[in-house]
Structure 1
Amino acid sequence: MQILFKFKKKQETDKAKTKNQIIELLSNRIIIMGVLLTALFCVLIYRLFVLQIIQGDEHLANFNYKIKKTIEISGARGNIYDCKGKILAYNQLAYTVTLENSEKTSKIAQERTAKNGKNGPKVTENEVKNEVIYKLVKVLEQNGDTINYSLPMTVNSKGKLKFTVSGSALTRFKKDIYGIANIDNLSGDEKKKAEKYLNSTPEEVYEYLRSGKGGPQGTGSMFGISDSYSTEDTLKIMSVRYDVFMNRYSQTTPITVAANISDKSIAAISEHEEEYPGVSIKADSLRKYNDAKYFSSILGYTGVISESELKELNADNGKYEANDVVGKTGIEKTMESTLQGKKGQKDVLVDNLGKIIKTVKTTKASAGNNVYLTIDADLQKYAYNILERRLAGILLAHLTTADTAGSDKRVPIKDVYYALLDNNIINISRLAKKNAKSNEKDVYRIYKKKQESVLNTLRKDLKTGTTVRKYLSEEKQDYVNYIYKMLENDGILVASSIDENDQVYLDWKEEKITFRKFLQYAINNEWINISSFNIKSDYYDADEIYDELINYIVDALKSEEDFDKILYEYMIKSGTLSGRKVCLLLYDQGVLDKKKDKDYNSLYTGKMSAYNFMYKKIKNIEITPAQLALDPCSGSVIITDPDTGEVRAMVSYPSYDNNRLANGIDSEYYASLNTDLSSPMLNRATQSRTAPGSTFKPISSTAVLEEGVATASTYVKCTGIFDKISPAAKCWIYPNAHGSLNVSGAIAVSCNFFFYQMGYNLGAVNGTYNSQRGLTKLKKYASMYGLNRKSGVEITEYEPHISDEDAIRSAIGQGTHSYTPSQISRYVTSLVNHKNLLDLSLLEKTTDAEGNTLTSYEKKTEEKLKISSSTFDLIKKGMIGVVNGKDSSIKYLYKKQGMKVAGKTGTAQENKKRPNHALFISYAPYDNPDITMTVVVPNGYTSANAAEIARDIYKYYFGKASKAEKKATTALLPSGSDGSND
């Protein structure tokens, strides 16, 4: 019992002890935490097992790295309409390929470097970027897409680099790439360096952008483009890198590489997107223009905002960002704030590849407002076509088979052949290509023979020539003049080092010495920069330098396309290159289609002469006046409402296709426009100035009538020559004379003698003539008609200039008068209105996207015309006589047309070697004017030609043109005149 009791007691004691141990254990925090952690660890292992082993594939498929990103949504640009609601500019959905900096390029470079091993070559981020761009450009080009090439540099067919811009645009480009802010704020060495950069050659800029060589950062900086790429491919890579570089302060905004890309390009890029880091394809809104050539001079075009435009547009609390599309010229620029849509934005989540996986929030964009113009689209197009057809007719009327122009300034047919090459209608660089056609190869062989002969002769003349400049043949003078300019442009002949008062230099300018003597003298006087010469020794004499200069000249001429054109000119003039072979080149190069053109066989076999062939092609407008760029090749027509100043038509010929400049510039097309000798991007209506000639006589009439110098009963006897000044001034009718005329009669027959006398009288005080006094009076009344300021049109316009020399000749519109057609039109509009000086306007109204009118543009009256009604009556009486009077030189044009038109003809001579400018101002109907018209044809020979253009347009406007006349498309030859050249 006792033993059993002790055993039980021990059991109880052990239980109590165990219990206490358990209680102690459970109350120990460390142990508790250990247990909990163990449990949690077990749970974690279990969950990892489930996630990775059991559900691993499912989660891997659904995994996404997420980051929030805001995407801007551009608002659609507003449309532009004519006065009748015809759409001129609108938007079209298309796809654009963009590029932005990507971290992935750096990773790729690192991975490839690691793969090459420690001793392998290091792959730079620049290399990867350039490879991506090269590959992207090739894909786009293979599928017929055009990259947005904005770099103002190109390379010619002979491998010579050149800038495609000049002046302030070139300076701005160089400042941007070299990081020059304001050279005026620099001093000492910094200023010298900046000036050196601003004077850098195309080759130096190219090398700097390619490798950094010769620039502020030194070799190894900038774009790091391998020299394994061809020059052409390097420029394309460089252009894209340049765009990214210019966008460096807004790196989150991608740059546009190409717009409106093809489905093939979209597929090729999308299917291999891992090969194109930073490249994206996005839906975009492209600007489109209907009937582009008729309206481009008014509408302008859009493009990616420049740095200067960004600052300007954001100066007034704008919200523009880099890479926004804005109006660059024309109405697109003027009405930018109206047309620009309001941006929206989309907040999204993207994965590690940049793909959108979720849209978090969207703020819708809204469309810009619409602009309605005062322009009548149908009238504009008809006037443009008439102008082109008449220009072709004037050219044909003056075409000759003679070798020289003669005193009547005719157009030799050989000049026409050469014009095809000179204005790049025929591309001479194609003649040397391996796939050149048989005729192209023949022409090239003739050229090579000529080139070899000329270069050998030049080398000989430069070495031993003794003929002074003035006695050189015309051909050799052209060669010498070209070489001189080439040496200046290449920085070999340093213009800033030349002492312009040096006697040898003056002898050279006066053509008294040989080119050889001048160049040798230039070397001795350190006017020649010898750093480009291959001189191996540090010790050299003048003869060695001169020999190297000759070598430089001959070698450089081999890569000068413009020098080649001079060779071709003299090949054609001499008959070495026939007109027939030149014309056949039009077919070889696809300017004309030999399969569709029946004239090809006739030309090829000799059944049709080259002269008749070209005559026919010009007559059919298959070869246009603009393409030839011979006189005349340009003109303008402006039609206004005299009650309001609204512009119904503003034609500028030639023109261009603004579709190819909007949405990313077509670089080849843009370069061709800049080198086109007819200057198609120049708005002839607002940016081409000319003397007004006799169209100024109504203003002179206003001056003499209002100043009391003459009245309706004042008669002046025209003797044909005004001899109160020396040299004497002749009337256009001399050696004949007009006889006795008053102011209305003098306007009607455009008597220069009458207005010489009036100019004299305006300046005379007590019988003593003072030219400045007369000029002051003329300026007063020219200003009343608005000729002292711009016309008011809402696009770029040049400033006018009222004559400040020779009151007598200024009274007939000569002197130094210089006005744009738009300014002359504004004067005519106000003359016909006879109450108010009106500003011209192209704007009718603006509306929102739903068509609700926001702004209506009323007529803009600057001031009342303080001119008596009797003065206007006398002037208008003279103007009706110009068109319908018995002595009218153009009445044959308007006779029996059923229209009562009043007007004033005018011619202006500015270059004795070229035809006179032709002008005609007018209005109709005479009794109750509905429109005014101003026609200006630079180098258009006679004012009758301008009057005939106006006649054709009046017939259309007043419904007098037949169906056949409306449908016709061929050249219209002048009807002929009685020789008036007023």
Structure 2
Amino acid sequence: MVIVMKNKKFEDRFDVLKFAFIIVFSIIVLKVSYMTVIKGEDYYEQAQNKVYKKIPIEAPRGEIRDRYGRLLAGNRPSFTVQLSKDEIEKADPNEIADKVIKILEQNGEKYIDEFPIIIAENGDYYYTYDKSIYEWKQKNNIPLIYSAEESFYEIVDRLINEGILNVDKDTDKFELQKLLNEHGYYPPIYVSKWKFAEEVKKEQWLYRYKIKEENISAKDAFQRIREYYEIPDELIDYEARKILLVRDLLKSQGYLQYQPIKLALDVSKETVSKIEELAMELPGVSIETEPIRYYPNGNFASHILGQIGKISQQNEIDTYIKEKGYSISDMIGKTGIEKKYEEKLHGEKGYKKVEVDAYGRLIRKIDMKAPTSGDTIYLTIDKDLQEVAENSLKNVLKTIQVGGVYESPWGNYKLRDSKKIYNKATSGAVVALHVKTGEVLAMATYPDYDPNDFSTGITSQEMGKYLPKNKNDPLAAKPLYNIATMTSVQPGSTFKMITGLAAIENGLNPNYKINAKGRIMLGNKSFGCWIWNDHRGSHGPTDLYRALEQSCNYYFYSVSVGYDYGSNKPLPVRMSVEEVLKYARLFGLDERTGIEIEEIPGRVPNPEAKLKNTKRSLEYALNRKLKNYFEDITNKDKEEYEKRIKEIVNWTEENPSRGTILKRLKQLKIKEDKIGEVADLVKYSYFNQAKWKTGDTFNLSIGQGAHAYTPLQMANYISGLVNGGYKNKVTIVDKIESYDKMKVEKTKRERERIPLKKYDNLEEIKKGMLRVTQQGTAKRVFGNFPIKVGAKTGTAQKSGRIPTDNEEEYLITHMASFGVNSNEALALADKYEKEDKSKKSRDYYIRKALFELNPRLTYDQINRFKDTYDNFAWFVSFAPYEDPEIAVVSLIFQGGHGGYAAPIARDIMAEYFGLTKDKNEEDIKEELKLVEELKR
């Protein structure tokens, strides 16, 4: 019985086991069936993707050509040194890295060096990330001690003060960031973390090497990474770094071992031969032929074409790598046409299909697809006209700097006055537009640069020649900056056509004469015409035509407020500053022109909102600035903090004296060492600017004051004046042609009619502008020109003192004049610097010591030994007078007089109208004689 029961149990267990086996087997069969029948194709594709990889082949960038098809930017074949991670790491990566770098250096080749720790000549170690933050702050005039948050709000405050942003103090930081981006400002800051983008990149890079310590020094990090890669001790750090830059480049590939990495671009045949000769010693090092961007004309049209470079900024990484699938090693357009049409020009990469193993290592090559070139961009510029514009701008600047004579077949012109030579005239721009279409015919900025320098990456040493000599001077020559579209300044007398048009549109007869007596006194302040300021002269009875011809300030002062000061009676029409500025807006001076490359909008002043905006801007600035400036509270004591700031803002209408402000700030318990700083800020940057006065209207009427326009905007405004009242959308791109020439996308020419009361009034303005060249301020330049030209000269003032390149040296040199003992001042500065851990610049502590030792000292007194700025020189023009085709506007920084910019326009017009084609100087002189005979 027992045996039977045991057998029964055994059978039951066997049945259970058999049943379990059947279930497991059924599941396996079902799963295999599912994987092979239902999902088989998907899994096969995934398996193939794991085994077969595509290595990209660079596509040639699309070409850029002028309106007639002449090449401005193309490509040429080049040799690239590439590294294959899997092959190198099978061998001795340190030895291979050392050898290949030595070959490149022996042949004078540039190589990609992105290792972010630099060893300076003095032996110091620093992160490139920190240097980038430092340089960004310097470039944007942000105090070096500012945090990411403080830097962000410094930019915001400036744009509010300039009237570009209109926000209140409670605006969300993300909304502020969005508004900045919309206005073309991209601070490299993560507002969510309040960290600089470079700080985040540094943290991410260190984490790759398992370095998690905060604030680890560059030297310590270097040693840790050196140990990580087991660099031999006998190598000094400078030599070890060359190995590290290669190892770090390989590590940046992650698991994509099959993809080659570019180490050096555009190397010589000698380098190629050497690497191929040592192929057995350099496994994983290869040479590939790739297209490289090439600009056959060097510096020509550099600010229009732009430059290319590696993907580096966070916004570029987000846009091109994450969104558009670019590779980290791809070159992209950074500025100009190259940037605007990056996706059109980039082309489509080809590929090599290869087989790799489970570790991503290359097994064999299988297939290949050729790359497709990018589209061709045809610009509206004429290469010949552009060349004339660039050469003329450059030559006029050089002539002004030495006070020489600008020689021309159309008449020589002396570019100096009896008082001085304008030797600081080192920068300028010129724009030529077709007045009927808005096409850019030529556009030049000087100094310029060679975009070829950026095609394969640029070293810090090479970049040095493109940096301003005086980094503290906002008007220092900046070769990489496009003045024509990105620099807005006061227009001076070139704005007077707007004031005159506003007056006659409101009913003033252009023949109405005002007795221009030289100056107008408002209280104890004199508003003089240039002729009064020069030699106490006056223009006498002056109508609109003579006012433009002689650039009479007195006339435009009068019409801007609707009062005839010469006769001490109201004008027969009503006028106001609002009417003047309304016409400035109608002609688009507060807008972008629509050009395809980077530009900033102009700024038309807003008198009605001046006080309100000033108070709002002041409140915003104080909220950001004073958070730690009070002795007894911080910004965390919200109610009391805002109450005190409101009290300061409420002094705006009163505009008390600086002494009164100092006393009040002391009562509000502002820290003693901050009182002077806050007093100067509120008094000179806000209170003095808050209320609108008649004098403000006078200044605006002649193009001074808060106006700010670019040369391109001015050229478009002149086009609207002379083309019958049409505001053009400016374009610099004529058409885009696909790589196979099967598709052509023509740029649409757009314009809209400006709503004027009487379009014939534009003819009255043109008459005045013609008189400028026939008998006025530009007669000496255009008197012998065979084509009738309308024009206006303009001289815009630039106030302030020029900062020195070395402020510390300046302060020490002039210490005796500041009423303090130099040894005592320097010792006190040393004390302040030692106590302060925020690492401000040395000159900051010296100034602090000066103010401490001599409380009566002011910033103006300290800066009095610095040079002053010279005036901007503007010249706006159009031709031919009867049926205008071209508008030319030239601007020279610190050029002295508006007429000094006129020869540039004359040279461009002579080329445009074919006056110099196939003619020598004698032919032109004969033509001029004939013109004179016909006049008689």
Short-chain TM bin: 0.5 to 0.7
Measure the CA separation in 2 of the matches of 1:725 and 1:249. 78
Q: Does 1:347 align with 2:353?
A: yes
Q: What residue identity is the alignment partner of 1:949?
A: I
Q: Does 1:718 align with 2:516?
A: yes
Q: What residue identity is the alignment partner of 1:280?
A: S
User: CA, structure 1 residues 366+183, in 2 after alignment: closer, same or farther (shift >3 Å)?
Assistant: closer
User: CA, structure 1 residues 154+814, in 2 after alignment: closer, same or farther (shift >3 Å)?
Assistant: farther
Measure the CA separation in 2 of the matches of 1:666 and 1:717. 62
Measure the CA separation in 2 of the matches of 1:138 and 1:359. 30
Mapping 1:739-778, distance limit 5 Å? 739-761=540-562, 774-778=576-580
Measure the CA separation in 2 of the matches of 1:409 and 1:733. 18
Measure the CA separation in 1 of the matches of 2:762 and 2:487. 29
Task: State the Cα distance separating 1:366 from its structure 2 match.
Answer: 1.4
1:842-868 C-alpha deviation (Å, 9 max, x unpaired): 000011223344210021225544352
Measure the CA separation in 2 of the matches of 1:803 and 1:90. 44
1:807-862 C-alpha deviation (Å, 9 max, x unpaired): 21011000021111111112112222233211211000011223344210021225
Measure the CA separation in 1 of the matches of 2:301 and 2:321. 30
> Paired residue for 2:620?
none
Task: State the Cα distance separating 1:134 from its structure 2 match.
Answer: 3.8
> Paired residue for 2:221?
212
> Paired residue for 1:664?
457
Contact 1:99 1:280 in 2 (8 A): yes
SS at match of 1:649: strand
Measure the CA separation in 2 of the matches of 1:834 and 1:226. 77
Task: State the Cα distance separating 1:313 from its structure 2 match.
Answer: 3.4
Query: What is the aligned length?
Result: 640
Q: Does 1:785 align with 2:584?
A: no
User: CA, structure 1 residues 872+950, in 2 after alignment: closer, same or farther (shift >3 Å)?
Assistant: same
Measure the CA separation in 2 of the matches of 1:149 and 1:184. 30
User: CA, structure 1 residues 338+219, in 2 after alignment: closer, same or farther (shift >3 Å)?
Assistant: closer
User: CA, structure 1 residues 711+278, in 2 after alignment: closer, same or farther (shift >3 Å)?
Assistant: farther
SS at match of 2:79: strand
Q: Work out which of the residue numbers 442, 446, 451 in structure 2 matches 1:649.
A: 442
Measure the CA separation in 2 of the matches of 1:222 and 1:917. 58
User: CA, structure 1 residues 842+137, in 2 after alignment: closer, same or farther (shift >3 Å)?
Assistant: same
Task: State the Cα distance separating 1:301 from its structure 2 match.
Answer: 1.7
Larger radius of gyration: 1
Deviates more, 1:370-379 or 1:798-807: 798-807
Contact 1:330 1:795 in 2 (8 A): yes
> Paired residue for 1:819?
709
SS at match of 2:301: helix
Measure the CA separation in 2 of the matches of 1:212 and 1:763. 75
1:62-99 C-alpha deviation (Å, 9 max, x unpaired): xxxx9754221222211110001101111111111134
Task: State the Cα distance separating 1:892 from its structure 2 match.
Answer: 2.1
User: CA, structure 1 residues 712+661, in 2 after alignment: closer, same or farther (shift >3 Å)?
Assistant: same
Contact 1:370 1:847 in 2 (8 A): yes
Contact 1:763 1:774 in 2 (8 A): no
> Paired residue for 2:746?
856
Contact 2:117 2:218 in 1 (8 A): no
> Paired residue for 1:392?
398
Q: Work out which of the residue numbers 789, 793, 802 in structure 2 matches 1:901.
A: 789
Measure the CA separation in 2 of the matches of 1:962 and 1:313. 47
Q: Work out which of the residue numbers 694, 698, 702 in structure 1 matches 2:501.
A: 702
> Paired residue for 1:938?
893
Task: State the Cα distance separating 1:762 from its structure 2 match.
Answer: 8.9
> Paired residue for 2:915?
960
Measure the CA separation in 2 of the matches of 1:80 and 1:222. 47
Q: Does 1:794 align with 2:682?
A: no
Task: State the Cα distance separating 1:738 from its structure 2 match.
Answer: 0.5
> Paired residue for 1:264?
270
Task: State the Cα distance separating 1:652 from its structure 2 match.
Answer: 0.8
Measure the CA separation in 1 of the matches of 2:563 and 2:252. 59
SS at match of 2:299: helix
User: CA, structure 1 residues 774+272, in 2 after alignment: closer, same or farther (shift >3 Å)?
Assistant: farther
Task: State the Cα distance separating 1:297 from its structure 2 match.
Answer: 0.7
Q: Does 1:299 align with 2:305?
A: yes
> Paired residue for 2:623?
none
Q: Work out which of the residue numbers 410, 414, 426 in structure 2 matches 1:633.
A: 426
Mapping 1:534-683, distance limit 5 Å? 631-676=424-469, 678-683=477-482
> Paired residue for 2:25?
none
Measure the CA separation in 1 of the matches of 2:263 and 2:273. 16
1:260-307 C-alpha deviation (Å, 9 max, x unpaired): 111222222233345445533221110000212121111112222236
> Paired residue for 1:90?
74
Contact 1:762 1:777 in 2 (8 A): no
Q: What residue identity is the alignment partner of 2:712?
A: S
Measure the CA separation in 2 of the matches of 1:378 and 1:152. 44
1:685-716 C-alpha deviation (Å, 9 max, x unpaired): 112222110001111122222234x3324321
Mapping 1:240-389, distance limit 5 Å? 253-273=259-279, 275-276=281-282, 278-306=284-312, 308-314=314-320, 318-349=324-355, 359-389=365-395
Q: Work out which of the residue numbers 945, 949, 957 in structure 1 matches 2:904.
A: 949
Q: What residue identity is the alignment partner of 2:286?
A: S
Measure the CA separation in 1 of the matches of 2:734 and 2:67. 7
Measure the CA separation in 1 of the matches of 2:429 and 2:920. 21
Measure the CA separation in 2 of the matches of 1:940 and 1:300. 26
Task: State the Cα distance separating 1:342 from its structure 2 match.
Answer: 1.2
User: CA, structure 1 residues 355+160, in 2 after alignment: closer, same or farther (shift >3 Å)?
Assistant: closer
Measure the CA separation in 2 of the matches of 1:222 and 1:261. 31
Q: What residue identity is the alignment partner of 1:702?
A: L
Measure the CA separation in 2 of the matches of 1:762 and 1:288. 60
Alignment gaps of 5+ in structure 1: 1-65, 110-127, 400-404, 412-629, 968-982
Task: State the Cα distance separating 1:253 from its structure 2 match.
Answer: 4.6
**Percent of aligned positions with the same letter in both sequences?**
31
Task: State the Cα distance separating 1:355 from its structure 2 match.
Answer: 10
> Paired residue for 1:142?
106
Q: What TM-score does the superposition give when structure 1 sets the normalisation length? A: 0.58
Measure the CA separation in 2 of the matches of 1:768 and 1:160. 72
> Paired residue for 2:665?
none
Task: State the Cα distance separating 1:741 from its structure 2 match.
Answer: 1.4
> Paired residue for 1:77?
61
Alignment gaps of 5+ in structure 2: 1-49, 140-146, 149-186, 207-212, 406-415, 471-476, 608-695, 801-867, 923-936
> Paired residue for 2:732?
842
User: CA, structure 1 residues 643+181, in 2 after alignment: closer, same or farther (shift >3 Å)?
Assistant: closer
User: CA, structure 1 residues 958+271, in 2 after alignment: closer, same or farther (shift >3 Å)?
Assistant: same
Q: What residue identity is the alignment partner of 1:653?
A: Y
User: CA, structure 1 residues 681+722, in 2 after alignment: closer, same or farther (shift >3 Å)?
Assistant: same
